[in-house]
């Protein structure tokens, strides 16, 4: 008895996760987020060397930050949904429908204060997300099918409602449109909104009980339920949140572009899933961080903008994005396999 | 005997009832109802020309749905088919422009389809990645190469005899020639899926990969073959699409994958794998096609078709899931009451 008790005690120091600032730094350096960030910095650096206006000019810097912001907000919601082992293909349609709804409200009531409009947009998106979530959670149907259905339905409603109409910049209050170009301390307002949302969600997912429950449900739904977690409630919450973020992105879209036709946000679902996957959020759920997903969004958009500067015709953008997604998931898999082998060796030693 | 009947309620009913009351039959009945209603209510719907155009329009989706069905029955998915239609269309067009003869260009485009499918299949089976993630990546990759090769230009001016062949009707009928190709494919797929050990393996994989492997099914090889077939069929669809519209473009058939998957799921194939049949899938494709064509003839705008497709998809899967749930509950209750008085009859 005594020997069996002593053995694990001896092994404990080397088996537990290492602590201390040095180990934390090492973990940070080896993380996926750092890798994506390095690639991002590298691309910006190379492109800037080739054409300084890419970063240094006022417009270049602003575009570099503003263009990814809308995708970033959508990716936040998408990442949370994917972490619960679901997927939300309807985000592009929710974005478009919300953008048109907000534009129509502004045309009808030009005096609505802008912050209230943000709340209305979020609430509208959340309502659409609730519909998705309720169908997935209570209907016991895979999220992919439901959100594929609502992708069609929401877009159809949008086209039906909009017809060949569109909202023009001249229809929107100038205070609202100024948000799209305004800067605070050199940083565009839209980017600040996106980064604040990112900070809140990242903190919530990492530190709170609710956030950890998303991960638990995604990594093993059966075990999570056995443990007593309310899966239905959490999945519903993830979809409501994803809809809310897509709604927010719709408002940002309206502010940034001013023109809203029935095709706003078309194809965003794949960019959002792609960005999350590139950022290390595994499609099988339970792993990845929203910060990684946000970096993935930045990387995706920046590559698209950098390619023409580097002399690669825009037409090849999608091919590069596809190769990037494939590279990222293969890398993930290889690293996971190596980690798995290492853990087994450690256990057997 | 009694409790066995109640446990496996599917098999407890007589054969005629099992054939009539299932997902596939429901879709076929719905299809007939739509056709009947449209013939009465929509002027010009019940004409041979409508049938011709309906079949010409859905031919690509019909073909690709054939290959998507076994993939989804194994529990995988192939989102890259729409992009492969675009890529094969571009490869076909570019080679034709470079002076290759049409048959050789067709073979080359089919080979590209096989290669693309093999890439999907190898990433899924050898590296062990989820099909959803892989095919989202190749969907962007294939479309990107297609758009990269041709940019915004298009290859047209295909030989008249080929483009008119794509639109030709079987002499004396309103049915397009391409349906012959489709029927040949359908017979091949039906034999493969419903009448061969390979097909039984496909269903077994969808139920449980481990159990299928223990049973002797070569799981990795089966999944790889299905992805290659899917790539080839998508390439075939791309060639047909090009000839039908007389134009090879990088953005041909954008979003087609979603239409195919919607039709396949509507036709009763479970996204979890393990269940579905070709006749249901064909009815699903035709149902969406017939609805679109009837609504277009009734001057309803194309957007409403999107709403209907989406709502139909959601309602059909939620309804079948609810029916399963209710049946499972009923079975449980029946078992509870019957098992106590006569436990000996179970075996």
Domain boundaries, chain A: 70-308
How far apart are alpha carbons B89 and B236 in whole angstroms? 9
Q: In sequence order, which residues have a C-beta less than 8 Å from that of residue B87 and are 6 or more positions away?
A: B112, B116, B142, B143, B145, B146, B235, B238
Which of A314-323, B134-143, B269-278 reaches the highest mean pLDDT?
Answer: B134-143
pLDDT of B154: 86
- Among A236-240, B22-26, B257-261, the range scoring the smallest mean pLDDT is B22-26
Alpha carbons B296 and A2: distance in angstroms, whole number: 82
Angle between helices A290-309 and A317-348 (to 10 degrees): 140
b/e map A268-286, b = 16+ CB within 10 Å: bbbbbbbbbbbbbbbbebb
Nearest by CB: A322 against B144, B314, B322: B144
Mean pLDDT of A290-299: 89
Q: Is the pLDDT of residue A104 over 90?
A: no
Residue from A179, A190, A319 nearest B146 by CA: A319
Residues of B in contact with A148 (CB under 8 A): 258, 261-262, 265, 310, 313
Residues in A closer than 8 angstroms to B148, CB to CB, are 313, 315-316, 318-319
| Partner residue opposite A151 with nearest CB, options B127, B140, B310 | B310
Selecting from A148, A282, A323 the residue whose C-beta is nearest the C-beta of B313 gives: A148
**Among A87, A163, A286, A322, which would you mutate to test the B interface (most chain B Cβ atoms within 10 Å of its Cβ)?**
A322
Tell me the nearest-neighbour CA distance from B256 into chain A, angstroms: 12
Residue pair A95/A246 in contact (Cβ under 8 Å)? The answer is yes
Grade residue B302 by pLDDT with cuts at 50, 70 and 90. low
Question: How do the domains of chain B map onto residue ranges?
Answer: 23-333
**CA dist., res. B94 & res. B156, Å (int):** 10
Residues B219 and B223: their CA atoms lie apart, in Å, by: 6
Q: How far is B320 from chain A (nearest CA, A)?
A: 9
Query: Which positions ≥6 away from B210 have C-beta within 8 Å?
Result: none
Alpha-carbon distance of B320 to A73, in angstroms, equals 34
* Mean of pLDDT values over A253-258: 85
Q: Is the pLDDT of residue A34 over 50?
A: yes
B315 SS3 class: helix
Asked whether the beta carbons of A251 and A98 are under 8 A apart, the reply is yes
Inform me whether the pLDDT recorded for B79 exceeds 60.
Answer: yes
Q: Comparing A154-168, B62-76, B115-129, B253-267, which segment has the lowest mean pLDDT?
A: A154-168
* Minimum distance, in Å, between the CA of residue B255 and any CA atom of chain A: 9
d(CA A257, CA B276): 45
State the Cα–Cα distance between residues B347 and B344, nearest whole angstrom. 7
CATH code of the domain made up of B23-333: 1.10.3470
Q: What is the average pLDDT value for chain B, to the nearest integer? A: 86
Least Cα separation, residue B170 to chain A (angstroms): 35
Residue B10's pLDDT is 53
Nearest to B129 among A153, A323, A329 (CB): A329
Tell if the pTM clears 0.90, that is, is over it.
no
Q: Which two tokens stand for residue A287?
A: 């792993």
Residue A155 C-alpha, separation from nearest chain B C-alpha, in angstroms:
7
Interatomic CA distance for residues A260 and A299, integer angstroms: 26
* Cα dihedral B128→B130→B134→B137 (10° resolution): -130
**Residue A146: is its pLDDT beyond 90?**
no
Burial of B293 (0-12, 13-18, 19+ CB in 10 A): buried
Task: Write out chain A residues lying below 8 Å of B250, CB-based.
Answer: 315
Query: Residue A63 pLDDT more than 80?
Result: no
Q: Look at residue A187 and give its three-state secondary structure.
A: strand
Of B63 and A328, the structure prediction assigns the larger pLDDT to: B63
Q: What percent of chain A has pLDDT over 90?
A: 15
Taking a C-beta distance cutoff of 8 angstroms, is the pair B113, B292 a contact?
no
- Using a CB-CB cut-off of 8 Å, the residues of chain B touching A133 are none
Residues in chain B within 8 Å Cβ distance of A152: 258, 262, 306-307, 309-310, 313
Nearest to residue B120, comparing CAs of B176, B76, B164, B69? B76
Question: Is residue A237 scored above 80 in pLDDT?
Answer: yes
The answer, yes or no, to whether ipTM is higher than 0.90 is no
Q: What is the average pLDDT value for chain A, to the nearest integer?
A: 82
Cross-chain Cβ contact A315/B151 below 8 Å = yes
Mean pLDDT confidence for B160-187: 89
* Residue of chain B whose Cα is closest to the Cα of A146: B314
Q: What is the pLDDT of residue B19?
A: 64
- Chain B nearest CA to A288, separation (Å): 15
Q: Answer yes or no: do A152 and B306 touch at CB < 8 A.
A: yes
Both tokens of A162, joined, read: 């909009």
In this prediction, residue B229 carries a pLDDT of: 97
Residues 6+ apart with CB under 8 A from A264: A95, A96, A99, A100, A250, A253, A257
- A316 three-class SS: helix
* CA B263 to each of CA A111, B126, B227, B267: distance values in angstroms, whole numbers, following the listed order: 45, 29, 19, 6
For residues A213 and A4, which has the higher predicted lDDT (pLDDT)? A213
Examine the pLDDT at A57 and tell me if it is beyond 90. Answer: no
Query: Is residue B7 over pLDDT 70?
Result: no
The shortest C-alpha distance from B304 to chain A (Å) reads 6
β partners of residue A188: A183
- Closest Cα in chain B to A162: B303
**B246 three-class SS:** coil
Q: Is the pLDDT of residue B27 over 80?
A: yes
Counted across chains A and B, CB pairs separated by less than 8 A come out at: 151
> Are B304 and A160 in contact (CB < 8 Å)?
yes
- Closest residue in A to B124 (Cα–Cα): A330
């Amino acid at each position: 008895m005594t020997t069996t008790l002593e053995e694990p005690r001896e092994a404990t120091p080397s088996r537990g996760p290492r602590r201390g600032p040095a180990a934390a730094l090492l973990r940070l350096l080896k993380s996926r987020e750092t890798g994506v960030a390095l690639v991002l910095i590298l691309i910006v650096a190379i492109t800037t060397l080739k054409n300084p206006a890419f970063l240094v000019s006022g417009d270049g810097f602003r575009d570099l930050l503003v263009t990814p912001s809308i995708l970033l907000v959508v990716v936040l919601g998408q990442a949370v949904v994917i972490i619960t082992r679901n997927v939300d293909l309807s985000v592009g349609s929710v974005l478009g429908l919300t953008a048109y709804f907000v534009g129509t409200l502004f045309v009808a009531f030009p005096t609505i204060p802008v912050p209230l409009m943000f709340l209305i947009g979020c609430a509208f998106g959340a309502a659409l997300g609730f519909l998705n979530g309720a169908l997935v959670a209570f209907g016991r149907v895979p999220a992919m099918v439901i959100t594929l259905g609502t992708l069609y339905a929401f877009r159809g409603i949008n086209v039906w409602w909009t017809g060949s109409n569109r909202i023009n910049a001249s229809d929107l209050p100038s205070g609202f449109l100024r948000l799209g170009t305004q800067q605070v301390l050199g940083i565009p307002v839209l980017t600040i909104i996106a980064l604040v949302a990112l900070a809140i969600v990242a903190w919530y997912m990492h530190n709170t009980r609710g956030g950890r429950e998303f991960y638990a449900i995604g990594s093993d739904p059966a075990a999570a339920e056995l443990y007593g977690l309310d899966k239905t409630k959490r999945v519903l919450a993830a979809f409501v949140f994803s809809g809310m973020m897509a709604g927010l992105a719709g408002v940002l879209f309206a502010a940034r572009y001013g023109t809203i036709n029935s095709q706003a946000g078309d194809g965003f679902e794949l960019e959002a899933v792609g960005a999350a996957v590139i950022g290390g959020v595994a499609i099988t759920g339970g792993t990845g961080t929203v910060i990684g997903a946000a970096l993935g969004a930045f990387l995706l958009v920046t590559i698209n903008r950098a390619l023409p500067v580097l002399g690669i015709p825009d037409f090849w953008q999608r091919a590069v994005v596809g190769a990037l997604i494939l590279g990222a998931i293969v890398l993930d898999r290889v690293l996971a396999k190596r980690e798995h082998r290492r853990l087994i060796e450690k256990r057997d030693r | 005997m009694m409790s066995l009947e109640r446990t496996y309620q599917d098999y407890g009913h007589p054969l005629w009832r099992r054939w009539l009351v299932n997902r596939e039959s429901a879709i076929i009945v719905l299809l007939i109802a739509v056709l009947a209603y449209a013939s009465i209510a929509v002027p010009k719907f019940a004409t041979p020309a409508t049938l011709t155009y309906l079949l010409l329009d859905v031919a690509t989706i019909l073909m690709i749905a054939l290959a998507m069905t076994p993939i989804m029955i194994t529990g995988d998915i192939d989102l890259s088919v729409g992009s492969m239609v675009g890529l094969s269309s571009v490869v076909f067009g570019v080679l034709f422009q470079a002076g290759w003869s049409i048959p050789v260009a067709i073979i080359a485009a089919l080979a590209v389809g096989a290669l693309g499918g093999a890439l999907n299949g190898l990433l899924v089976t050898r590296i062990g990645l989820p099909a959803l993630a892989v095919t989202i990546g190749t969907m962007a990759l294939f479309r990107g190469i297609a758009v990269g090769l041709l940019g915004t230009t298009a290859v047209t001016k295909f030989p008249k005899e080929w483009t008119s062949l794509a639109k030709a009707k079987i002499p004396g009928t309103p049915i397009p020639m391409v349906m012959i190709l489709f029927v040949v494919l359908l017979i091949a797929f039906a034999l493969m899926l419903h009448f061969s050990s390979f097909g039984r393996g496909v269903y077994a994989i969808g139920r449980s990969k481990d159990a299928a492997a223990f049973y002797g099914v070569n799981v990795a090889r089966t999944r790889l073959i299905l992805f290659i077939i899917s790539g080839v069929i998508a390439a075939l669809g791309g060639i047909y699409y090009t000839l039908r519209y007389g134009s090879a473009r990088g953005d041909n058939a954008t979003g087609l994958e979603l239409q195919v998957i919607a039709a396949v799921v509507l036709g009763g194939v479970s996204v979890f794998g393990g269940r579905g049949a070709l006749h249901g899938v064909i009815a699903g494709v035709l149902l969406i096609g017939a609805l679109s064509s009837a609504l277009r003839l009734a001057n309803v705008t194309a957007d409403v078709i999107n709403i209907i497709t989406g709502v139909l998809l959601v309602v059909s899967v939620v309804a079948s899931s609810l029916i399963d749930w209710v049946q499972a509950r009923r079975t449980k209750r029946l078992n509870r009451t019957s098992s106590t008085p006569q436990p000996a009859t179970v075996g």
